[in-house]
Amino acid sequence: MRWRGDHRQCETYFGNRDKSPAADYHGPITRSRVLSPIHSLPFEVLGEILILALPTDQELYNKYSKGQKFLNPTLVSCAVCSSWRSLAFSTPPLWSTVLIHVPYNINEAQAKRKAADLVQWIERSRSLPITLHISGDPYISSNARVPIISVIDDHAARWESLYFLGFNNDPFHFGGWQSLRRLYFYPHLCIGSRES
């Protein structure tokens, strides 16, 4: 059977399969769809590409330990367009690595906003184990640290790996951290690693 542009013939030729909403797109062929073939990909494929674009823990370590600026790929994906943002919000692996920087001059209100953002990030990862990279000055006031540390302690059972760069770990209560496999303090000292 030859393809003649009719989607029913295409289904007959390739078989009837479950399709995503993107596969059923029959809207106009716009300039962006022609010039950017990525807009034609099914959302499941695009989601896998975004997951593969995430940096490894070693890549994050290299950037953080050298003090390089880093754009979080998950947030970059959310900024492309509303479709990508919806896709990112519904793809939990994109949210399973958390990056937090706590600047020296953070005040208590800013710390509370950062803690609220952290809770949203954790919720988007659904039930996946989480890796946390936290950087900051070890001399941040304890009032500014409390909201962030509280969120980290509240979700202790979800943390798989913790990476600290310059952030004082004294106030953490390392109880209930059953899923914790790796605990690192930057720049290069590994305090513990537990592999199952």
CA-nearest of 121, 118, 177, 124 to 150 is 118
Sign of CA dihedral 168, 153, 62, 106: negative
Whose tokens are 């399969």? That residue is 17
Q: What is the pLDDT of residue 11?
A: 41
The per-residue DSSP string of 11-45 comes to HHHH------TTTT--S---HHHHH-GGGGS-HHH
Distance CA 186, CA 167 (A): 9
The per-residue DSSP string of 111-130 comes to HHHHHHHHHHHHHHTTTS-E
Q: What is the pLDDT of residue 174?
A: 63
- Cross-strand pairs, 163: 133, 184
* Digitized pLDDT (tens) for each residue of the chain, 196 residues in all: 333 444 343 343 334 444 444 445 455 555 555 567 787 889 999 999 999 999 998 888 777 667 677 788 899 999 998 999 999 999 999 999 998 888 888 999 999 999 999 999 999 999 999 999 888 877 778 788 889 889 988 998 999 998 887 766 556 666 677 788 888 876 543 444 444 4
pLDDT tens digits for range 79-110: 998 999 999 999 999 999 998 888 888 999 99
Q: Tokens in use for 32?
A: 């962006």
